[in-house]
Amino acid sequence: MIRIHNPHHVPFLHQTEQLRQAGTLCDALLTVEGLTFKAHALILALASKRLKRQLTNQRGPGPRYCCIIDRVSSHTFKQILDYVYSESLEVPKDDLEELLKGAEYLEVESLVEQCQAQLRDPDSPTKTDTKVANSLRDDKAQKDNELSKRSHNLDEDHLDCSSEEERSSTKRSVHDAHKKSCSPVSPLPPMFSRESIISSSAQSPTPRLSLCILKH
Note the pLDDT tens digit of each residue in 40-93: 999 999 999 999 999 988 765 567 899 999 999 999 999 999 999 988 889 999
Q: Given this model, what pLDDT does residue 154 score?
A: 64
What is the rounded radius of gyration, in angstroms, for the C-alpha atoms of the chain? Answer: 51
Residues 111 and 70: beta-carbon distance below 8 Å: no
Q: Given this model, what pLDDT does residue 135 score?
A: 53
Q: Given this model, what pLDDT does residue 88 score?
A: 86
Q: What are the respective helix, strand and coil percentages of the chain, to the nearest 5?
A: 60, 10, 30
Residues 98 and 118: beta-carbon distance below 8 Å: no
How far, in Å, CA of 211 to CA of 32, rounded? 164
How far, in Å, CA of 103 to CA of 97, rounded? 10
Q: Given this model, what pLDDT does residue 46 score?
A: 92
CATH of 2-131, one of 3.40.190.10, 3.30.710.10, 2.160.20.10, 3.30.300.180: 3.30.710.10
Q: How many Å separate Cα 16 from the centre of its chain?
A: 28
Instruction: Give the pTM.
Output: 0.55
Residues 16 and 136: beta-carbon distance below 8 Å: no
**Phi/psi zone of residue 18: left (φ > 0), alpha (ψ -120 to 50 degrees), beta?**
alpha
Q: Given this model, what pLDDT does residue 5 score?
A: 79
Cβ atoms within 10 Å of 89's Cβ, excluding its own: 21
What DSSP element (H or E) covers 5?
strand 2-5
Low-confidence residues of the chain: pLDDT under 50: 128, 132-133, 185-186, 188-190, 192-216
How far, in Å, CA of 10 to CA of 86, rounded? 9
